[in-house]
Structure 1
Amino acid sequence: MKKLVNDPRQVVREMLEGLCDLHPGLALLENEEVVVRAGLPPPEARPVAVLSGGGAGHEPAHAGYVGPGLLAGAIAGDVFTSPSVDAVLAGIRAAAGPAGAVLIVKNYTGDRLNFGLAAELARAEGIPCEVVVVADDVALRDMVPPDRRRGIAGTVLIHKLAGAAAAAGQGAGQVAAIARAAAEELGSMGVALGACTVPAAGKPGFTLGEEEIELGLGIHGEQGVERGAMASADALVERMLGMILADRGLGAGDRVALLVNGLGGTPPMELAIVARRAIGLLRERELVVERAWAGNFLTAIEMPGCSLSLLTLDDARLALLDAPGEAPAWPGDGRIAPRLVLAAPPAAPAPAASMGPLAPRLCAAAMAIAAALEAAEPRLTELDAAAGDGDLGISMARGAAALRAMPDAAWADPPIALAAMGEALRRALGGSSGPFYAAGLLRAARVLPSMPGPADWAAALQAATEAITELGGAQPGDRTMVDALAPAAKALAQGGLAAAAEAAEAGAAATTAMAPRLGRASYLGERAIGVPDAGAAAVAIWLRALAKAAG
């Protein structure tokens, strides 16, 4: 286990200290793991205090939602462990006044017991106290009664509704009634792609195969209701949303808020893909998506996966979601609009040209290059992965596909063909390869006559090499594609294409012993030595294919 912690027994306290250090609107109780709003008014002037909490490991919940218009305080237990009765009672005393408190509790036995007993003790001290239990996990619909379901990520929306109602001056009973009614119309479901590791345990809670997932899990690192096969993001969204919609009885015309929640180990890229399909599916079924959020709201440490939550809306509930609220983890009002896709400005039309005598040979040479790059994809991927990000193989394969897709008119004569290839590769190649090849081909096209001789081709390759060195700053010896291009350009001027291919292959091989000075490989320093540069190898591959095609 590798985690950025000190003593596993101090994880929660040190985490809360860091959170409060970062956010001046938060204060930490001296002897309890309780975060409250800093600068609360005197008790007699306080509105109803909305508090929540539970075990740590769900960050940014729950302390991340402490702030005006949301929670007045949050109580943390050990990782995935309910806080003690004394800690909850300390939170109530620190945040509540005569108006009382409303406790938002996720439906787990420990939380219900400890928050419930703390509420009873607070009432005995004269503090009005209401408890709202959230049980939004629809994955348990066929296993337990609705009031026995788990509380998961949809709880965050209840925090916002209750906090807004309290900030508006409503009494504890009213705030609790609003929260309970919303919790009754809330549904959530999650999927995990892997397990998480509790710091004190030191190992994952379960193991999954490469093609396995857990569907219908809670938020404590446990297994789900069902283990299934890995599927696409769209398929998983459709299954989860389908269960939520069926359970909640939602359909055309219903107004909803959507929460796409990461479980801690899912990157924003994947959450956005999930949100895209979730919003699209709801709209296809003619639901009205009034508000939507995507991000990490209530996690399970570093678990890869996500959950979806839907809350039915009316005007009153929507107004509470939109009411002012500020806390470290609250993302804002979640307003969305129909997807806006703008047409890109068209490129200037290429000048018309008649087909020259070299057109068939130019096209054949380009197809030979495309075939060689496609065949070399695994090798280029392997080389690039050793000292880069491993994408050069697939990038070159995309370039080959772009060459194959060029229209017949693109091969009219050599200058037109090189310019068209530069434009095609600029669009198709990822990373730095696209700009480099485009710059080289466009520069070569400008110096090449329509009926070139051997010296003209040599001058074009030299011009291309110069364009690439100017753009990227690389020189021979820096362990880049220039180490193959520069000797090839010199050899082409002196001995033809076969000599150029041999020189490129020798140059690429020489990079094996070079320490990189430019590009992503330069971050590895001498650790890159021992493997040839992938960009230089690609140059050698297409030059050899070109030499064979030219006979």
Structure 2
Amino acid sequence: MKKLINDPRHVVREMLEGIVDISPALALLEDENVVVRADLPEQAARPVAVLSGGGSGHEPAHAGYVGDGLLTGAIAGDVFTSPSSDAVLSAIRATSGPAGAVLIVKNYTGDRLNFGLAAELARTEGIPVEIVVVADDVALRDVVEPARRRGLAGTVLIHKIAGAAARKGHSVQEVASIAREASAALGTMGVALGACTLPGASKPGFTLPENEVELGLGIHGEQGVSRSPLSSADELTETLIATLADDLGLKDGARIALLVNGLGATTPLELAIVGRAALAALRQRRLQVERVWSGNYLTALDMPGCSLSLLRLDDERLALLDAPATSPAWQPGIAVQPARKLVSAAPLAATEEPADIGAAPASDLVRAALQAVATAMRNAEPELTDLDSRTGDGDLGASMVRGAEAIETLPRNASQSAGSLLAALGNALRRAIAGSSGPFYAVALMRTGRRLDEARNPGARDWAEAFEMAVASVGELGGAKPGDRTMLDALHPAADALLHGLDAGLSPRKALSKAVQACAEGVDATTRMHPRLGRAAYLGERAIGSPDAGAAAVLVWMRALEKAVTRS
């Protein structure tokens, strides 16, 4: 599997060197993979040190949380491997003063053994050390007793609480007690859509069918507690929230914090959808969500999926979460409102709605033709998506389907005339289609509608001139011209052929057929053009060989129009 690394044996050290190089407030121990604060006071004046760590691959944890009001130091093992007791002991020695240290340990055997041994060695040197074990994985509640659950992403919130308590000057026993009580009020559960791949490995750690997900996974690339069918984000989120709320015994009115955590390969778009669903599920249960975090906080390399953490709050715990803190990865929690805020745009000036007096014959023909276009666009969605993916962002097929939906839902009272129908469709497409296609088609249709409304009974010549004006409007709006490898390379020859065919005495149907033929030739020509505008321009010569997707979409609806007119 492709990774941006040098040597798999050196990824951890090089990663830590990179973190420290771009974070002036951090320092790296010379002989151990340990990141510490660079501004530590003299030993005698140091508050309680808060240390955490574990295997690497969970970035930004753990080094990302080293800073004022958070961790004093972080110990990094190899990927998904506990650090050695020597590394942990070095971190304790480097950061502790007479006040001692609190070690925050996720509940895995290797971490408990090595952090525990280091703590015992430090105590023999006279350093007071307390251990806080985080076991927040509620997915294991029917498998093992609570004390044997795994530690997951909720550990990040314990980092913050312990770090804030230490910053306030609490003793090592008090910091540990506060952190333990918070850990007991914490629950986390995750869902994975696939496996992660370790640096240097040739394949992911496990295989997962496209229609299944892993529920209750850990953070080391291992499989979950159960495998279930893939369902919607809302349904998966409800499963996680229901389990968490039940395990934590959350009752009506309980105060909670929510952490929406990505596992490494989950986009912010997906996390926002999950966050939306989580807040809705919690509000439905009448729970008071007082703080929210969303993003990659404790990952599993490049695993697609997420975890949700809930923490019961009281005034003290909330104050510790809100206390000032600075580190490379920490972001303050967001105070959410009880309900989503919605605002309305300023209304347009009121216009009289046309009465539904029945469609004129011309607009009936236009509506039938547009329905044929809508059907053709739906059928062409896979082809257009594929073409657009080769040289663009792959969204054209979906955009054309949204355009088809706009056509199909156009109100009947828009069809008093062909011009008003097309103008109404232009406005509908403007709202329905994002990206560049929406504005292009909207301005073209609105200009076409205005031109047709200027003629009392528009004939073939009026339609051809309106089409020519529409094509010109696309070039004006986007700044393109024929030969730039855009939709204009299909539109321009089609408009010319339509006018020239009518001028040569061809019937409207034969002139339209000539226009469609010219359109097809224009699309074919784009396969040999060097792109000068749009996303394809970024590919240069690599775009040659495939037709322009926007031009291909024009040919789809031109052919649909030709068939509809031929049948009329």
Range into which the TM-score falls when normalised by the shorter chain = over 0.9
Residue 505 (structure 1) aligns with? 520
Residue 413 (structure 1) aligns with? 417
1:185 and 1:311 in contact (8 A); partners too = yes
Residue 494 (structure 2) aligns with? 488
CA distance in 2, matches of 1:150, 1:392: 44
CA distance in 1, matches of 2:204, 2:363: 61
Paired residue secondary structure (1:83): coil
Paired residue secondary structure (1:550): helix
Higher mean alpha-carbon deviation, 252-261 vs 356-365, is at 356-365
Higher mean alpha-carbon deviation, 160-169 vs 525-534, is at 525-534
Question: How does 1:163-178 map onto structure 2 within 5 Å?
Answer: 163-178=163-178
Matched to 2:2, the amino acid is K
Matched to 1:491, the amino acid is A
Residue 322 (structure 1) aligns with? 322
Residue 521 (structure 1) aligns with? 536
Residue 535 (structure 1) aligns with? 550
- Which residue of 436, 440, 444 corresponds with 2:444? 440
CA deviation string 1:476-530 (max 9, x = no partner):
1222111111111111212132322222122222223223222122233333333
**C-alpha deviation, 1:357, in angstroms:** 5.3
1:465 and 1:482 in contact (8 A); partners too = yes
Residue 340 (structure 2) aligns with? 339
**C-alpha deviation, 1:310, in angstroms:** 0.9
CA distance in 1, matches of 2:414, 2:479: 30
**C-alpha deviation, 1:200, in angstroms:** 4.4
Matched to 2:529, the amino acid is M
Residue 392 (structure 2) aligns with? 388
| Structure 2 residue 478 is matched with structure 1 residue 463 | no
CA deviation string 1:385-430 (max 9, x = no partner):
3332332222212212211211222122233222112111111223
Residue 130 (structure 1) aligns with? 130
CA distance in 2, matches of 1:385, 1:374: 17
Question: How does 1:366-381 map onto structure 2 within 5 Å?
Answer: 366-381=370-385
CA distance in 1, matches of 2:362, 2:267: 50
CA deviation string 1:99-133 (max 9, x = no partner):
11111011111111111111111111111111111
Decide whether aligned partners of structure 1 residues 46 and 464 sit closer, same or farther in structure 2, where only a CA change above 3 A counts: same
Residue 89 (structure 1) aligns with? 89
CA deviation string 1:23-68 (max 9, x = no partner):
1111111111111111111111111111111111111111111111
Residue 179 (structure 2) aligns with? 179
Question: How does 1:20-39 map onto structure 2 within 5 Å?
Answer: 20-39=20-39
**C-alpha deviation, 1:349, in angstroms:** 4.2
1:384 and 1:391 in contact (8 A); partners too = yes
Q: How much identity, in percent, do the aligned residues show? A: 65
CA deviation string 1:263-320 (max 9, x = no partner):
1111111111111111110110011111111111111111111111111111111111
CA distance in 2, matches of 1:407, 1:362: 14
CA deviation string 1:458-479 (max 9, x = no partner):
2211111111111112211222
Paired residue secondary structure (2:306): strand
**C-alpha deviation, 1:165, in angstroms:** 0.6
CA distance in 2, matches of 1:2, 1:79: 16
Matched to 1:344, the amino acid is A
Residue 15 (structure 1) aligns with? 15
1:358 and 1:412 in contact (8 A); partners too = no
Decide whether aligned partners of structure 1 residues 303 and 352 sit closer, same or farther in structure 2, where only a CA change above 3 A counts: closer
Question: How does 1:39-188 map onto structure 2 within 5 Å?
Answer: 39-188=39-188
Matched to 2:106, the amino acid is K
Residue 194 (structure 2) aligns with? 194
Paired residue secondary structure (1:513): coil
CA distance in 2, matches of 1:347, 1:284: 35
1:190 and 1:307 in contact (8 A); partners too = yes
**C-alpha deviation, 1:201, in angstroms:** 3.8
Higher mean alpha-carbon deviation, 530-539 vs 123-132, is at 530-539
Paired residue secondary structure (2:53): strand
CA distance in 2, matches of 1:210, 1:457: 49
CA distance in 2, matches of 1:306, 1:382: 29
Task: Give ranges in structure 2 of 5+ residues lacking alignment.
Answer: 502-510
Matched to 2:491, the amino acid is L
Paired residue secondary structure (1:298): coil
CA distance in 1, matches of 2:429, 2:412: 16
Matched to 1:217, the amino acid is L
Residue 504 (structure 2) aligns with? none
Residue 303 (structure 1) aligns with? 303
Paired residue secondary structure (1:251): coil
Higher mean alpha-carbon deviation, 460-469 vs 371-380, is at 371-380
| Structure 2 residue 363 is matched with structure 1 residue 365 | no
| Structure 2 residue 426 is matched with structure 1 residue 422 | yes
CA distance in 2, matches of 1:59, 1:172: 27
**C-alpha deviation, 1:202, in angstroms:** 4.0
Paired residue secondary structure (2:231): coil
CA RMSD of aligned residues (A): 1.7
| Structure 2 residue 209 is matched with structure 1 residue 209 | yes
Task: Give ranges in structure 1 of 5+ residues lacking alignment.
Answer: none
CA distance in 2, matches of 1:477, 1:86: 67
**C-alpha deviation, 1:438, in angstroms:** 1.0
CA distance in 2, matches of 1:114, 1:369: 67
Decide whether aligned partners of structure 1 residues 243 and 516 sit closer, same or farther in structure 2, where only a CA change above 3 A counts: same
**C-alpha deviation, 1:219, in angstroms:** 0.9
1:61 and 1:298 in contact (8 A); partners too = yes
CA distance in 1, matches of 2:430, 2:267: 28
CA distance in 2, matches of 1:272, 1:289: 16
**C-alpha deviation, 1:203, in angstroms:** 2.9
Q: TM-score, normalised by structure 2?
A: 0.94
**C-alpha deviation, 1:191, in angstroms:** 1.2
CA distance in 2, matches of 1:548, 1:298: 57
**C-alpha deviation, 1:143, in angstroms:** 1.4
CA distance in 2, matches of 1:79, 1:543: 56
Matched to 1:459, the amino acid is E
Matched to 2:101, the amino acid is A
Paired residue secondary structure (2:527): helix
**C-alpha deviation, 1:546, in angstroms:** 2.3
CA deviation string 1:170-202 (max 9, x = no partner):
100000000111111111111111111121444
Decide whether aligned partners of structure 1 residues 368 and 214 sit closer, same or farther in structure 2, where only a CA change above 3 A counts: closer
**C-alpha deviation, 1:363, in angstroms:** 2.1
**C-alpha deviation, 1:361, in angstroms:** 2.4
Matched to 1:151, the amino acid is G
1:154 and 1:186 in contact (8 A); partners too = yes
1:261 and 1:307 in contact (8 A); partners too = yes
